[in-house]
A = this chain, B = another copy of it.
Amino acid sequence: MTQLGELKARLAELADLNNIGHLLEWDQNTMMPPSGAQSRSEALATLGRISHDLLISDDTGRLLEGAAAELDGAAPDSDDARALAVTRRRYDKARRVPADLVAEMARAGALGYEAWVEARRRSDFAAFVPYLERNLELAHRYVGCFDGFDCAYDVLLDNFEPGMKTAQVAALFAELRTELQPLIEGVRERADRVDASCLHGRFPTDRQRRLVAEALELMGFSSESWRMDDTVHPFASNIGAGDTRITTRWDEGYFASALYGAMHECGHGLYEAGIAEELKRTPLGHGESLSLHESQSRLWENMVGRSRAFSGVLAPRISELFDTNIDPETLYRAVNRVQPSLIRVEADEATYGLHIVLRFEFEQDLIEGRLAVAELPEAWNARMSDYLGIDVPDDARGVLQDVHWSAGMLGYFPTYALGNLVAGQLWERADAEIEDLDGRIAAGELGPLREWLRERVHRHGAKFEAGQLLQRVTGAQISVGPFIAYLKRKLSDVYGL
């Protein structure tokens, strides 16, 4: 057997272990009885340790060397060359971080999460301070394992968005904020033009299930290779080839939460399900760039789901199922209402970006030592007032609202807003390349868009970084323009901006 062959066999095992981890996490969040938690965390820790040891072993290093020599001269964009490059990057990163630091970070993240749940419940930021300080201290130690970066934040960001630099994000976000703020200001003056009351009422869950099932089926959900289950914090997961799982939650008083949430998760699922067969069980067999992933969920949730065209598909079914009368235009306007609000995950398409810009700025301030953890609530509240014009009543609905920092995930937030930008660029391109995209969507035919995305984006899996992929598909790097243009069109439409 060649060394490449031997390496690929090992990477297939790693891919299996990765899939097994996905199943354990899916089960934990959908099926597991509560008292299985301790045992599950032990199983996940063991699985993680075994995967990690397999990845960083000297054998893997030797095989990487040998395989690289064998591949010398292969096209750098071939599947094998890219799988090797991606593995090399993961291997080098994993080798740099001592096992005890990895364990320490995992433990601090678990403790931080516990403390955060309680601190948020009591809206008591002071109780959370030592845990966030500890996570920051460990983040510094983590950054200290690397060299050759422009700033510490680059090292953290790279874990969620491979290849992306802080400076690039900062430039994009500066432009994004400059564009979003006047848009939001303009809407604020016209707030009375949109009435979203049709979204609220009594919507029995079993009827919502039918509505959601129909929408997902149009997107490509099939019970042959998908499942949908209930959970508290919705997510999507791919357990392996032919096994994609999404989750949602139900609010009997507000159907939009389950409907657009499920379309969002189905967008993630379509990405994973669309990855080429030949990449499965390789290091390229799952999406890796979180901005690319988020671009898919956002594109389906917002650009398709909240479009005027698809509102024409949804409104009659909503009216039938809930025995009410919502016309497409009313639905379209209601689900595109813009209103500055406290909670990121409930934010509309326009204000969402500012929630992210603010978090990105604070993460850099914290990691660079420009802001002490204890000063965070005051700074948070001031900036929420500055960016979104709203007052934060308590820390539970302010600085304590998100889980990420408690678990030590610093550098994650930017990918959400980058996902919107990428979605804007892909949407612009899809619209140019797919004949009568709008008409197709209005007819409930989502197949052409799905196939376009599969061909251009999904099938490549983790083969390309977000920037490389966008270059291939759109001929441009990540940019703010297309997303803002899309948003302006919609808000002009809805608010007469």
Binding site for B on A (CB under 8 A): 12-13, 16-17, 19-20, 23-24, 27, 31-40, 42-43, 45-47, 49-50, 223-227, 239-244, 280-281
Q: Is the CB of A241 within 8 A of B38?
A: yes
Q: Which chain B residue has the least Cβ–Cβ distance from A32?
A: B243
Q: Is the CB of A242 within 8 A of B33?
A: yes
Q: Is the CB of A241 within 8 A of B19?
A: no
Can you pick out 12 interface pairs between chain A and chain B where the beta carbons lie within 8 Å of each other? Answer: A12-B42, A19-B39, A20-B20, A20-B24, A20-B43, A20-B47, A33-B224, A33-B227, A36-B240, A37-B242, A39-B240, A39-B280
Q: How far is the CB of A103 from chain B (nearest CB, A)?
A: 13
Q: CB-CB < 8 A to A43: which residues of B? A: 16, 19-20, 23, 240
Most chain B CB within a 10 A radius of its CB, from A20, A31, A225, A243: A243
Q: Is the CB of B280 within 8 A of A226?
A: no
Q: How far is the CB of A285 from chain B (nearest CB, A)?
A: 10
Q: How far is the CB of A102 from chain B (nearest CB, A)?
A: 16
Q: Is the CB of B242 within 8 A of A31?
A: no
Q: CB-CB < 8 A to A50: which residues of B? A: 13, 17, 50
> Complex Cα distance A43/B281, Å?
10
- Given the interface pairs A17-B46, A19-B43, the reply to whether A241 lies near B36 with Cβ below 8 Å is yes
> Complex Cα distance A32/B227, Å?
8
Q: How far is the CB of A466 from chain B (nearest CB, A)?
A: 26
The 3 closest A-B pairs by CB, nearest first: A39-B240, A36-B243, A35-B242
Q: How far is the CB of A281 from chain B (nearest CB, A)?
A: 7
Q: Is the CB of A40 within 8 A of B243?
A: yes
> Complex Cα distance A27/B227, Å?
12
Q: How far is the CB of A77 from chain B (nearest CB, A)?
A: 26
Q: How far is the CB of A265 from chain B (nearest CB, A)?
A: 15
- Given the interface pairs A16-B47, A20-B20, A23-B23, the reply to whether A39 lies near B224 with Cβ below 8 Å is no
Q: How far is the CB of A106 from chain B (nearest CB, A)?
A: 15
> Complex Cα distance A255/B294, Å?
48
Q: Which chain B residue has the least Cβ–Cβ distance from A229?
A: B31
Q: Is the CB of B243 within 8 A of A33?
A: yes
> Complex Cα distance A225/B39, Å?
12
> Complex Cα distance A13/B223, Å?
35
- Given the interface pairs A23-B27, A27-B23, A46-B17, the reply to whether A39 lies near B241 with Cβ below 8 Å is yes
